[in-house]
């Protein structure tokens, strides 16, 4: 079970990393744009905050370009940076070449179990089904996670981890984990929602108030 953050905001990553349960971070070109910062600088900073795998995405659309970008990123960035590749025929070929060189990959923009299966066959370290974007079309994104996990069960030799992405709410996280997804990547807001409960806050307040009375009575 792995919990990743889906953001390129280093302040947020620092905050969640302090909780001691952050396993990795995923970025993509849109998240880098949102950060307003230089791609390699921000990924490098993230990789120094969180020891787990940090996904950095290539933007070439041909295999040669993807591999070239991947090698440059591996050369320039910290060891824990892994390469995010789009789920296209060219991306599969790049994934295969990178996996043969021992470079970890995250095959992204997966919307079907067959895409996930082909990416696994190419040697992907992670496959990223985008469940929220499937929900947005009126279909059921969690159904895709269930389908992928059922397929994986038939082939115990598959080592590729299923990384549920495009998470929209805390229930998505719990459901993905209950379906057996290895990893979930989520925005910071959802990480915060997962830990927060009004009854926990209310309970703490009451305990602290009562403890004040205990102290006042000199019984602490």
**Cβ atoms < 10 Å from Cβ of 65:** 14
Strand 161-164 and strand 105-110: the pairing is unpaired
Q: Which residues pair with residue 164 across a beta bridge?
A: 184
68 binds ligand G3P (CB under 6 A): no
Q: Which of 74, 84, 96, 161 is catalytic?
A: 84
Whole-number Å distance between alpha carbons of 38 and 32:
8
Residues 6+ apart with CB under 8 A from 97: 63, 67
Whole-number Å distance between alpha carbons of 170 and 194:
6
185 binds ligand G3P (CB under 6 A): yes
Locus of tokens 């280093």: 10
CA 69 from chain center: how many Å?
A: 21
183 binds ligand G3P (CB under 6 A): no
Among residues 74 and 84, whose Cβ is nearest to ligand G3P?
84
175 binds ligand G3P (CB under 6 A): no
CB of 63 to ligand G3P, least distance (A): 22
Per DSSP, the three-state class of 53 is: coil
CB of 127 to ligand G3P, least distance (A): 12
Among residues 1 and 214, whose Cβ is nearest to ligand G3P?
1
Task: Name the H helices within the chain.
Answer: 10-17, 29-35, 39-49, 63-76, 89-100, 113-121, 131-136, 141-154, 170-178, 188-195, 198-216
CB of 9 to ligand G3P, least distance (A): 13
How many residues bind ligand G3P (CB under 6 A)? The answer is: 9
CB of 134 to ligand G3P, least distance (A): 10
Among residues 137 and 154, whose Cβ is nearest to ligand G3P?
137
Residue 84 bears catalytic tag: yes
Site for ligand G3P in 9-48 (CB under 6 A): 26, 28
7 binds ligand G3P (CB under 6 A): no
Residues 6+ apart with CB under 8 A from 44: 77, 78, 81
106 binds ligand G3P (CB under 6 A): no
Among residues 77 and 109, whose Cβ is nearest to ligand G3P?
109
170 binds ligand G3P (CB under 6 A): no
Residues that bind ligand G3P (CB under 6 A): 6, 26, 28, 130, 132-133, 165-166, 185
Catalytic residues: 84
């Amino acid at each position: 079970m792995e919990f990743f953050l889906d953001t390129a905001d280093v302040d947020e990553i620092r905050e969640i990393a302090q909780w001691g349960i952050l396993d990795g971070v995923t970025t993509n070109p849109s998240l880098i744009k949102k950060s307003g910062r230089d791609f390699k600088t921000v990924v490098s900073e993230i990789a120094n905050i969180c020891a787990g795998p940090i996904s950095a995405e290539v933007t070439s659309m041909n295999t040669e370009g993807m591999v070239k970008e991947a090698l440059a990123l591996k050369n320039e960035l910290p060891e824990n940076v892994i390469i995010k590749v789009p789920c296209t025929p060219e991306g599969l070929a790049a994934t295969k070449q990178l996996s043969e060189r021992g470079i970890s990959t995250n095959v992204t923009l997966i919307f079907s179990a067959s895409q996930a299966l082909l990416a696994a066959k190419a040697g992907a370290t992670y496959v990223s089904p985008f469940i929220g974007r499937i929900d947005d079309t009126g279909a059921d994104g969690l159904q895709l996670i269930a389908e992928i996990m059922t397929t994986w069960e038939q082939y115990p030799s598959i080592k590729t981890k299923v990384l549920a992405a495009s998470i929209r709410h805390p229930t998505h996280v719990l459901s993905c984990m209950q379906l057996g997804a290895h990893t979930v990547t989520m925005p910071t807001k959802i990480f915060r929602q997962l830990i927060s409960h009004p009854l926990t806050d209310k309970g703490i307040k009451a305990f602290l108030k009562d403890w004040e009375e205990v102290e006042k009575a000199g019984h602490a």
